[in-house]
Structure 1
């Protein structure tokens, strides 16, 4: 575990902090498509992502989901940290987009390290800042952009985090993430195909130029 931590956080974290994380953290390898945190659950540990990507979703009263943002290598979820500090239930769902390697750190260590390590404090504040910016971007997209623009940005981001121009989600799964209908997604994908931006196949979408 220590080698992976140094590779990911060596430039940010002090050596004693790396040692402590190695001692108290639990290394977990999780396949794609697994729910690692769910709405209504209490958060007992903080995830530090060593590799892969996780998507974070919000759910409305009717059970429909909206993609908020992705977590990538070296990141953590500020919503998780807020739940930890307030000892409240999670209001988000986190699902592995790809196979991930992460370290789960006990919640009681968060405040202890805030006082003890400057590297940890800076990391936490930067995480809050980055997540806030991403949430504001999500709000802007919903408020000011039409669905075809949102779909293009969604496909670009998914390709970026998975490092693959082949999108294997179904039209219905994309619709869930964008909080719209499958019919709308299918129609917009057909339009993008006519513009030669992508190719639609039976089990995947091949991005050409977005």
Structure 2
């Protein structure tokens, strides 16, 4: 079962020999929505491969405020975790289950071996770095150049895309935390977006009309 899931989610990137090694070395772990998978300053002993669900990757400032960096989907890994594994072994991010999720946890010592000995793993890691780097640049651009209402609408559209639905279940406080702003600001901007016919609000639900 573990090998079949790996083939389904990672078979287009990784060769079959490596998939078998990963299945043998990995440990399946399941997390419910909002569970913390990896926390800041946690010692990293495993590399996560996401088999199902979504995982939010967040940074935290000195006052405990969080900022959403990117969201992992099934078939991906967290390159911020990989970077930490190659350095201090202490996590610089917090990974939280966006929805119920299943991960395969790979011992960190395997990463270096496969990187040097398996071309498909090496290419997968380098492509993952490039994807995450582009997403972090986009996050920086959003903060630096977009107005908060534009950031909010883009966030809602991205979230809708992740869930393959134009209706998302989310509370205002969660949006505020992800965008590193206040709930009052989020509520005001959501109302503005509703008045401009871009979204429709209901209790803990938002329908995106302007996809």
Q: Normalised by the size of structure 2, how large is the TM-score?
A: 0.96
Identify the residue that residue 34 of structure 1 maps to in structure 2.
35
Residue number in structure 2 paired with 1:82: 83
After TM superposition, the structure 1 = structure 2 runs for residues 171-182 of structure 1, keeping only pairs within 5 Å, are: 171-182=172-183
Corresponding residue pairs, total: 210
* CA offset digits 1:33-83 (Å, max 9, x no partner): 111000111111000111211111110111111101011111111110111
| 1:184 equivalent in alignment to 2:177 | no
Query: Which ranges of structure 1 fall in alignment gaps of 5 or more residues?
Result: none
Pairwise CA distance, 1:125: 0.4
Provide the residue aligned with 2:17 in structure 1.
16
Q: How does 1:189-204 map to 2 (within 5 A)?
A: 189-204=190-205
The equivalent of 1:135 in structure 2 is 136
Post-superposition shift, 1:148? 0.5
Mapped to 2, the partners of 1:153 and 1:140 lie a distance apart of 12
Aligned-residue CA RMSD in angstroms? 1.1
Distance in 1 between residues matched to 2:76 and 2:11, nearest whole Å? 13
| TM score, norm. by length of structure 1 | 0.96
C-alpha deviation, 1:12, in angstroms: 1.5
Unaligned runs of 5+ in 2: none
2:49 counterpart of 1:69: no
* CA-CA distance at 1:207 after TM superposition: 2.0
